[in-house]
Structure 1
Amino acid sequence: MSRIRLISIDIDGTLLNSQNELSAANLSALHRAHDEGIQIVLGTGRRHAFALPIAEALGFDLWMISSNGAVTRSTRDEHFFMDLLPAKVARDLCIYMGDEFRANTVITFERPGKGALIVERTDELTESIQRWIEKNSQFIEFIVPIETGIVTDPIQAMFCGTIAKMELAQAKLLAWPGRDQVTVLKTQYDHRNLCIVDILNRDCSKGHALQRFADSRGISRDEIVAIGDNFNDIEMLQVAGHPFIMGNASNELKQNGWPVTLTNDESGVAAVIDQVLAEATTNA
């Protein structure tokens, strides 16, 4: 392994265990990597404000790629890049998806307070992501019909529900005339019967954001480690010269030939970092 300068890590299902906790082993390993001068970047589907408490718990300043690549911002509120979804595209999307998916739709904006998230209703969302609804209740604004609330460019649109319902959503999206204007990313948790389908601007993903950030700092592919567990991590893993997939990832993702680390309940992130630091010492 060449000298590693950057480690990009997904949050849910990767850095956090199944109880949404940061293990002592992962925290210790991240501090060792940081002390060695390795840049730590969190790459997450969460919006920046929702991911910030996790990042701050690490105890050092870092950059976050949030909303699946739409926003790159530091824990010190330094802005690097933002890739917004055009408002007209988002409105057309909501109208096209129709009444069948209105109860599954969330539109996310880059603004503080209520209205950062807009929905029509939350009954189906609560069934799928109750904890997320509870933690974000102060930011949610109800607008009917939802497309009338899209007057500025949002960060993304999200459809969330059961795996079966989201398979129908993805099938409908394939036939949307505006499909070539967007990126469609999926995050799926089979054990929770939960699927999240994110709609972002064209050529927007964790991978695009990571490549842009690394290029700005003269970091080459061979100097990047990436660790993820889900379908929305694929582009990020492809950008890294040293990708690792979590042991709790689906069997489908494990077929890509990437090294498989331990599960998130076994501190798989720490296992990767230990390997990286050990090999760095060996090659020194």
Structure 2
Amino acid sequence: MKIASADGDTPTIVANARSIGAESVPGWDQPFTDQELDDIEAAVTTAISKKRRPFSGTGNDDDEDERPGGPRRRLPGSFSLQHSMRIKLPVMIFRGRITYNRSATGVERAAAQLLSKIDAMKGVMDQVIIGFDIEYRPTFQRGVPPRKTAVMQICGDNDHCHVMHVIRSGIPPSLKLILEDTAVLKVGAGIAGDARKVLKDYNVSVNGFQDLSELANQKLALPRNRWGLASLSEVLLNKQLEKSMKIRCGNWEAFFLSEEQLLYAATDAFVSWHLYQVLKSLPDARRNNIENNEEKLTVALP
């Protein structure tokens, strides 16, 4: 991974003071500390790796009621198996160049260069595709709205991803043009929600987008699902997309993003772009079923 800077699916968390009440707890809206993030990740890891107790056959779980806090909530039996399978998969990671910009001047310059590249691609391609995603600092506080969009990441090929720290730079004109251009298809998981958030936070429309979850439901002969990048990576690429809670729930409003945050953000945008290429190459599931039925009918005829 090379990083260049031109200008210098709700986790279970350990109860703490932040979850007691916004009005009564000083500092509830401050970034999580490293210790708190470690506790969050440890809690999630424990929850998904703990083995289920053997079923007693009596249907009586009175002993669970005596546990502090009441009965333990159990994960579906298949979840632990899925998690074990996921651990064995190779990790999906972006290995190209990451350009990180955080000032208005830097983001405008990077977006102008990207806009020029997009214009050139329009001359030789039917449609320009970019992987798109956003990051923001979570609050984990009931009744408290999400924090403002802090980071936008854009990737249009295997080699180069842009990570733009828009909480610091705002959305300059060239970036606004890219987001509003209906001829540039933005792809991502749950991207409609991201578009609504960007509109609310910056009054900028994200036009021309495709939700990978909907596309997957159209293409895959599987039960309809609310697909995320991680699950699609497993099904389509046979690779694991790491989702570290320490990074995912970290402070995306920091003065400078860490190398780990930059790699996390760029990988999400790259995987969005890559998964779209894979999905578009597949026939629709309905057409696939029709072809299978026709083949069976032909074989059955004398």
Shorter-chain-normalised TM-score: which range?
A: under 0.3
Larger radius of gyration: 2
Higher strand share: 1
